[in-house]
Amino acid sequence: MDQFEIDRKYDAGELAYEHKHNIKPPAEEPEGPVEHPSFTRAKALPEPLRSHFPKSVEEAKEFQPRIRRRALASTVLVVAKTRVECAWACYCDSVPGQNHDNEEAEVLRHGDKLDEGLARVLFPEFEKVPYAR
């Protein structure tokens, strides 16, 4: 339908103003509170992951991430960390290799994010958890 036909139908009362000007009606407000998608994802996880991730705002305020690490060599560390939004990510970096307990925080801060496929091979315990983009 070209603009001339749209104008003719509008003038004839056959076309609503909203349609002529491509205006969408306001969306209806959902009834009751809407649950955050990350809470829905967390509720669908199997245990013990379900109990780790928050399923409410109150639990999200108290969330403590789970951190796991693998040494690929004495000076290469890979660190995985869960996130409050029911996801996880994995980072890799070179380290001095003196004390991995102290060096994992630096890998999380400055390391490069690993590809999801490799991260899932290194940390199969997060198999059911979405990988953060």
Q: Kindly report the pTM of this predicted structure.
A: 0.72
Tell me how far apart the terminal alpha carbons of the chain are, to the nearest angstrom: 42
Picking from 89, 37, 43, 95, the residue whose alpha carbon sits closest to that of residue 68 is: 89
Compute the distance between CA of residue 67 and CA of residue 124 in angstroms, rounded to an integer.
14
Q: Where are the domains of the chain?
A: 37-126
Please list the pLDDT of the chain residue by residue as tens digits (133 residues). 666 666 666 666 655 555 555 656 566 766 767 788 999 999 999 999 999 999 999 999 999 999 999 999 999 999 999 999 999 999 999 999 999 999 999 999 999 999 999 999 999 999 999 999 8
